[in-house]
Chains A and B, each alone.
Chain A
Amino acid sequence: DSGVTQTPKHLITATGQRVTLRCSPRSGDLSVYWYQQSLDQGLQFLIQYYNGEERAKGNILERFSAQQFPDLHSELNLSSLELGDSALYFCASSPRGQLQETQYFGPGTRLLVL
């Protein structure tokens, strides 16, 4: 158990819909990262937050947005969902978001878009 929690574990929805994925980082960690992992694919970095502010942006679609709240939990919003958005979405956290830090991953949210 990494100490990072994600909800929900599974999500099934239809094309065109909007969903929100939630992540709570490890206690004391200020930085949160979001990743997408499609079937048999590597991890694609989406976005990183540090203490409420966006720090780095990866291959995140305009239909996707995220934020980190004052209590440090983070939400990833996916809108106008398409079939290709079906994937595992992981959240990870690290203490200060520094390059050399280990990232601790949550169990993931499995999203299925029908």
Chain B
Amino acid sequence: GQSLEQPSEVTAVEGAIVQINCTYQTSGFYGLSWYQQHDGGAPTFLSYNALDGLEETGRFSSFLSRSDSYGYLLLQELQMKDSASYFCAVRGDTDKLIFGTGTRLQVFP
């Protein structure tokens, strides 16, 4: 079967750095994406990794290791507005986008 695992909840304080891990098991692999979703809102795209390594976009970075079927999202200089759910998603060879169950990030002052 195909599955993604990520922690259900992470807490941190403003200004800190937090890492949200994602391990996946899929038949075929075409990339790992990350989406952010605020309560009651729609998911919004954050990043995409097709190749091994680190992709940096402002305060957010995403890492992929295809040999380990593992990736992470790194959030730096945390702000209160970063409190949201973060989903990793994988494209398998069935052309479907499979989402993890999400990690709820709570940022405290």
Chain A residues proximal to chain B, CB less than 8 Å: 2, 33, 35, 41-45, 48, 55-58, 90, 92, 99-100, 102-108
Contacts and interface: CB of A to CB of B under 8 A. Distances in A.
Interface residues of B, number: 22
B5 to A, nearest CB: 11
Nearest to B6: A42
Contacts of B94: 56
A103 B48 CA distance: 11
A43 B43 contact: yes
23 contacts: A2-B42, A35-B99, A42-B87, A42-B100, A43-B89, A44-B99, A48-B95, A56-B94, A56-B95, A56-B96, A90-B42, A90-B43, A92-B43, A99-B30, A99-B31, A99-B95, A100-B31, A100-B48, A100-B50, A102-B48, A106-B42, A107-B41, A108-B42
Interface string B61-90: 000000000000000000000000001010
Contacts of B31: 99-100
A101 to B, nearest CB: 9
Contacts of B50: 100
A3 B91 CA distance: 23
